Amino acid sequence: MKKLIIVLLVSISMVGFAQTGEKNFIDQNYIEVTGKSELEIVPDLIYLRIVLSERDNKGRLTIVEIERVMLEKLAGIGIDVNANLSLLNFASTMRALWLKTEVVLTKQYQLIVQDAKTLEKVFFEFQNLGISNVSIVRFEHSKIEQYRQDVKVAAVKAAKEKAELLAVALGRKLGNALYAQEADVLNLNTMSNVVRKTPGRTVFSQDNYYSSSAENSSIEFEKIKIESTFLVRFGLE
């Protein structure tokens, strides 16, 4: 009875091994290729940091008056200040003067503009108002996630097209995809800190600072670069 049980167990194990003994994809005939896709897009969300201080205008206007005029000018060039302007910080500092102490108020704002033309108008108005403490914080795009997905799909399609071409050259037929892995290259490019100037235009990149003495020229932005690379293995028939 014990011998019979042992024989049955061995038989079941052998059957299980036979059923799961299929070839791994590495043991199959396959072709391995990489597909790459790139896309450059113009940012449509430009984030600015604006600092207003009573010290900058030497006490000619209060912080409230500076803010009121700024809001009027921004609304005048078509910016929705309720949606695109937000207060980041409001602070006061003490300044010692001759025989008295003065309180200096400072406000810091974030402004979002959608294109270089609008930004140029903003800088022009700020120059006239004497507001020079303005910096570009970052660039983004409102549809960046969709563009990222599109670039991934394009990279996989490029890999398949390359594999089909090589399979024909080998006299084989391309089979199903066996393996796919994305390389870690999908990203927004790191903006340089240099303003590139060409005749008649200025190209702004992240962390460039505006000053009231800036040249009057057309403004463009560094494009956002998105790229994706996939490694794909296809079976060969």
pLDDT digits (tens, 9 = 90+) for 55-70: 666 657 788 888 899 9
Per-residue pLDDT at 92? 57
Report the Cα–Cα distance between both ends of the chain, in Å, rounded. 50
Per-residue pLDDT at 116? 86
* 123 Cβ contact list (under 8 Å, min separation 6): 134, 210, 214, 219
Contact 234, 178 (CB under 8 A): yes
Residue type, 191: M
Per-residue pLDDT at 24? 58
Residue with the bigger pLDDT between 203 and 101: it is 101
d(CA 81, CA 50): 13
Pairing of strands 218-221, 201-204: parallel
Q: Which residue has the tokens 């983004």?
A: 140
Does 215 score more than 90 pLDDT? no
Does 21 score more than 50 pLDDT? no
Please give the average per-residue pLDDT across 124-146, as a whole number.
Answer: 89
Handedness of CA 111, 117, 123, 128 (dihedral sign): negative
Express each pLDDT in 77-95 by its tens digit: 999 999 999 988 766 554 5
Pairing of strands 30-41, 100-113: unpaired
What 3-state DSSP class applies to 51?
Answer: strand
* 95 Cβ contact list (under 8 Å, min separation 6): 55, 101, 102, 103, 104
Helix or strand holding residue 127 (H, E)? helix 116-129
Per-residue pLDDT at 131? 86
Domains within the chain, CATH numbers bracketed = 24-43+142-237 (3.30.110.170), 45-140 (3.30.70.120)
Contact 33, 166 (CB under 8 A): yes
CB count, 10 Å around CB of 167?
19
Q: pLDDT category, 54, cuts 50, 70, 90?
A: confident
Residue with the bigger pLDDT between 164 and 216: it is 164
